[in-house]
Amino acid sequence: MAIIKTKNLTKKFKDLLVVDDVNLEVEEGECFGLLGPNGAGKTSLIRMITAVSPPTKGDIWILGNDLGTYSRQVKAILGVVPQLDNLDEDLTVLQNLMTFARYFDIPKNEAQRRSMEVLSLFELQNKCNSQIRELSGGMKRRLLLARGLINMPKIMVLDEPTIGLDPQAKYLVWHKLTELKSQGVTQLICTQNMEEATVLCNRVAIMHQGKILSLDTPQELISRYVGNEVWEIELDSEERDRTVKELESRGLDFERVGGKIHVFHIEAEESISGLVSSLGRLRRRPATLEDVFFRLTGRSLAE
């Protein structure tokens, strides 16, 4: 059964259509990634799913419950990690967690136990009595993640969970999220980090201008839109036009990226051989989700 399901979900701000008729099903226990450039509508979609912002049109069901009717019950099983830091600056680290636990009606002893547990999970146990403003950006992010776990959620909704983290902290977070998934916690992650999506997500949806353009496992998306490898050709401008013509006549799938040409879906090496005189200008590398992202959402800035 889909643990999160949306039907014709739409959000409009005045005349601006931010989320456009999205139908989505997230399966129980999976990690589902939402990818898209800035302004694609990811955060708006997540805000609707977490019952913070009402849809202009459409429905959302979480665990089969209509969100419009059961928002309080649904929010009790969600762990939300927002993109922007909204820790309570008037309270210490531990008080932040204790106060948050109280919003979920968790009794004090239990709240105390869980607070210490989630703090040590993200290696913040020494910061219990620190003020929020004394924490580094990375620590704040980890505290936000810890706070999102205080109610032992069935579903975690994470908006850019590792943004601004150093590589050490990023891997710590990925590791913890993978552990949580193995414990059966469903995850919905918004991210612009393609590596993150590849590492964590069972399935990803690529969003652009409020719509979901494509949805599948990262591997399947890569082989569908790019193939397993990308050939990069670097050429001078006069040679480039000639090569482009040649690529077109061979019927190959390619894209011009600045001074380079990326060629996709090369099944056999012969199809590209003889294309450039010096092999030093030809480079093949494994295809990534980022290639898919560019192919689907274009290379120009969205905003």
Partner 1 sequence: MKFPSWHSIRVWQRNRDVFFRLWHSEAPGFIAEPIIILLAMGLGLGAYIGLVDGQRYIEFIAPGIIASYAMFSASFECTYGSFVRMEYQKTYDAIIATPLSIEDVTAGEIFWGATRSLMTGTIILVIAAAFQLVPSPWALIIPILAFLEGLMFASIAILFTSIVPAIYSFNYYFTLFITPMFFFSGVFFPLSSFPEIVQTLSWIAPLTPVVHLTRALINGEFHPNLLWALALIIVLSALFFSVSLITMRRRLTT
* Residues found near partner 1 in the complex (CB under 8 A): 13, 50, 52-54, 71-73, 75-76, 78, 80, 82, 84-91, 95, 99-100, 102-105, 151
The C-alpha atoms of residue 25 and residue 171 are separated, in whole angstroms, by 28
Q: Radius of gyration of the chain from Cα atoms?
A: 23
Smallest distance, partner 1 to C-beta of residue 115, A: 15
Site of tokens 């414990």: 183
**Which residue number, 51 or 205, has a Cβ lying nearer to partner 1?**
51
| DSSP element (H, E) containing 237 | helix 237-249
Smallest distance, partner 1 to C-beta of residue 225, A: 34
**Which residue number, 106 or 212, has a Cβ lying nearer to partner 1?**
106
Is the separation of the CB atoms in 222 and 286 below 8 Å?
no
**Which residue number, 88 or 195, has a Cβ lying nearer to partner 1?**
88
**Which residue number, 6 or 297, has a Cβ lying nearer to partner 1?**
6
Smallest distance, partner 1 to C-beta of residue 104, A: 6
Q: What single-letter DSSP state applies at residue 155?
A: E
Is the separation of the CB atoms in 289 and 35 below 8 Å?
yes
Smallest distance, partner 1 to C-beta of residue 101, A: 10
Smallest distance, partner 1 to C-beta of residue 249, A: 54
For residue 205, give the nearest of 303, 286, 297 by alpha carbon. 297
Question: What six digits make up the tokens of 27?
Answer: 């399966």
Smallest distance, partner 1 to C-beta of residue 76, A: 5
**Which residue number, 72 or 280, has a Cβ lying nearer to partner 1?**
72
The C-alpha atoms of residue 293 and residue 196 are separated, in whole angstroms, by 13
Beta carbons within 8 Å of 71's beta carbon, 6+ residues apart = 51
Distance of CA 11 to CAs 15, 18, 136, 174, Å? 10, 6, 35, 31
**Which residue number, 72 or 301, has a Cβ lying nearer to partner 1?**
72
**Which residue number, 72 or 258, has a Cβ lying nearer to partner 1?**
72
Smallest distance, partner 1 to C-beta of residue 188, A: 13
The C-alpha atoms of residue 39 and residue 264 are separated, in whole angstroms, by 28
Altogether, the residues listed in the chain come to a count of 303
The C-alpha atoms of residue 147 and residue 97 are separated, in whole angstroms, by 6
148: exposed, middle or buried (Cβ count in 10 Å: 0-12, 13-18, 19+): buried
**Which residue number, 147 or 170, has a Cβ lying nearer to partner 1?**
147
Q: How many CA atoms lie within 13 A of 135 on its CB side?
A: 26
Smallest distance, partner 1 to C-beta of residue 14, A: 9
